[in-house]
């Protein structure tokens, strides 16, 4: 049966060129970057080359990139370590109600430890109101963490403006850019952020590697304890193959970015219109235009997202409902609820996220199959009667 993968916000396939670049670091070049003989030095050079590649993608300096084991770790490091390290300056932090759990739960953990937390609401399109942030900043606020783009609905926040407001209020700014790095131009200087998280497996690199970008002025201490790797900020022997793959993926992400975006915008518009025009009582979620390329998220009235996914799967189509991390629980998405959708509507959510290998034919196949699925589910649903 044909397989149509439309869940690129959950993860992406490793690009064949990335795969090729990684292999030697599993066999011939297995050295430990901390060893002084040539095998070790070779591994260290490979890690530093990857650091340059990742830094280049976001216009950072290589010395500002710290590799981690995933995006989640980068988020935790940015938030928990930053607050712990700088608690002499204040104990208040601000985030938003639509963050990924890696940020939201790290903030809630700090709140339980006695830090003061403000969670900003969002507008129905998922955007944070900059005025809300201005009002929330206090003299003891030292950190604001707001995601660049939302994983569930694709809404892109005005990070430059939000970072500037935070700085005016005397706070540093972190952004979870896992959903944007490699998909849209991300420039840390232009955005004015102090810290940023990224993850390799969302941009056609391998899983299990991410990075924290950190400007020198944003002081953080290690929260793992051990060796001197990553300037002691993140001890532990480096995941050399993973890091090499992340670097290669970062390099590739820069090539043809504009053309890839145009193609994704075209396909996403076709998919979105195909769904909205052929299935009644359906609405787009997230911002209509300020969204990640290739990201389509909708809610169908009177159906369960989980059932849609199962029916799609029977037809070889892979998508998601809510975020992959929370599916499995029956709670509706915290993101959709924060955007003001009712529990009933939020239950019927579907996210289809396109990637560079998706074709027009695949989009048309989904448009052909989906209306029948929704119709059948509605016929079975007690909610629609």
Q: List residues near ligand PLP by CB under 6 A.
A: 70-72, 75, 100, 102, 147, 151, 176, 178-179, 199, 201-202, 210
Cα distance between residue 112 and residue 93, in whole Å: 13
What is the closest distance, in whole angstroms, from the C-beta atom of residue 342 to ligand PLP in the complex? 24
Cα distance between residue 329 and residue 325, in whole Å: 9
What is the closest distance, in whole angstroms, from the C-beta atom of residue 126 to ligand PLP in the complex? 13
What is the closest distance, in whole angstroms, from the C-beta atom of residue 89 to ligand PLP in the complex? 26
DSSP E strand boundaries for the chain: 4-5, 65-68, 92-96, 116-120, 141-145, 172-176, 195-199, 210-214, 282-284, 295-300, 317-318, 349-353
What is the closest distance, in whole angstroms, from the C-beta atom of residue 80 to ligand PLP in the complex? 15
What is the closest distance, in whole angstroms, from the C-beta atom of residue 54 to ligand PLP in the complex? 14
Which CB, 10 or 240, lies closer to ligand PLP?
Answer: 10
Cα distance between residue 288 and residue 282, in whole Å: 14
Ramachandran bin of 234, using left for φ above 0, alpha for ψ from -120 to 50, beta for the remaining angles: beta
CB atoms within 10 A of CB 347: 25
Task: Give the number of C-alpha atoms closer than 13 A to the C-alpha of residue 7, restricted to the C-beta side.
Answer: 19
What is the closest distance, in whole angstroms, from the C-beta atom of residue 41 to ligand PLP in the complex? 29
- 325 catalytic per annotation: yes
Q: Which two tokens stand for residue 203?
A: 């941009």
Q: Which two tokens stand for residue 121?
A: 């609401």
Whether 11 contacts 201, CB under 8 Å: yes
Which CB, 6 or 147, lies closer to ligand PLP?
Answer: 147
Cα distance between residue 271 and residue 288, in whole Å: 14
Which CB, 66 or 300, lies closer to ligand PLP?
Answer: 66
Cα distance between residue 331 and residue 323, in whole Å: 11
Cα distance between residue 106 and residue 348, in whole Å: 28
Which CB, 245 or 274, lies closer to ligand PLP?
Answer: 245
Q: Residue 247 — φ and ψ, nearest 5°?
A: -60, -45
| Residue whose CB is nearest to ligand PLP in the complex, by number | 71
Q: Which two tokens stand for residue 117?
A: 């937390």
Which CB, 207 or 270, lies closer to ligand PLP?
Answer: 207
What is the closest distance, in whole angstroms, from the C-beta atom of residue 101 to ligand PLP in the complex? 8
Cα distance between residue 191 and residue 204, in whole Å: 24
Q: Residue 218 — φ and ψ, nearest 5°?
A: -85, 95
Catalytic residue numbers, as ranges: 325
């Amino acid at each position: 049966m044909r397989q149509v993968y439309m869940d690129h916000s959950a993860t992406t396939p490793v690009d064949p060129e990335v795969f090729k670049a990684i292999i030697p670091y599993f066999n011939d070049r297995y050295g430990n970057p901390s060893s002084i003989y040539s095998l070790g030095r070779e591994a260290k050079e490979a890690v530093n080359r990857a650091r340059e590649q990742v830094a280049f993608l976001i216009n950072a300096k290589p010395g500002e990139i710290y590799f981690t084991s995933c995006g989640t770790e980068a988020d935790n490091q940015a938030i928990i370590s930053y607050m712990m390290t700088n608690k002499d300056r204040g104990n208040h932090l601000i985030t938003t109600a639509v963050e990924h759990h890696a940020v939201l739960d790290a903030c809630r953990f700090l709140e339980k430890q006695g830090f003061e937390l403000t969670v900003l609401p969002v507008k129905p399109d998922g955007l944070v109101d900059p005025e809300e942030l201005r009002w929330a900043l206090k003299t003891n606020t030292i950190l604001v963490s707001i995601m660049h783009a939302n994983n569930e609905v694709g809404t892109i926040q005005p990070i430059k403006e939000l970072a500037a407001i935070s700085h005016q209020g005397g706070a540093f700014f972190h952004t979870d850019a896992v959903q944007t790095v490699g998909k849209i131009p991300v420039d840390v200087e232009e955005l004015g952020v102090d810290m940023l998280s990224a993850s390799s497996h969302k941009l056609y690199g391998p899983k299990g590697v991410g990075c924290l970008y950190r400007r020198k002025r944003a002081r953080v201490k290690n929260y793992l304890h051990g060796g001197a790797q990553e300037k002691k900020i993140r001890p532990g022997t480096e995941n050399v193959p993973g890091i090499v793959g992340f670097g290669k993926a970062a390099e590739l992400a820069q090539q043809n970015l504009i053309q890839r975006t145009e193609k994704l915008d075209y396909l996403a518009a076709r998919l979105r219109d195909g769904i909205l025009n052929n299935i009644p009582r359906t609405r787009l979620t997230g911002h209509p235009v300020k969204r990640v390329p290739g990201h389509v998220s909708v809610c169908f009235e009177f159906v369960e997202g989980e059932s849609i996914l199962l029916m799609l799967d029977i037809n070889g189509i892979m998508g998601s409902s809510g975020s992959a991390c929370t599916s499995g629980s029956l709670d509706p998405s915290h993101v959709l609820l924060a955007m003001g959708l009712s529990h009933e509507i939020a239950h019927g959510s579907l996210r289809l996220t396109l990637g560079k290998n998706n074709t027009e034919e695949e989009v048309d196949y989904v448009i052909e199959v989906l209306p029948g699925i929704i119709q059948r589910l509605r016929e079975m649903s007690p909610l629609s009667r």
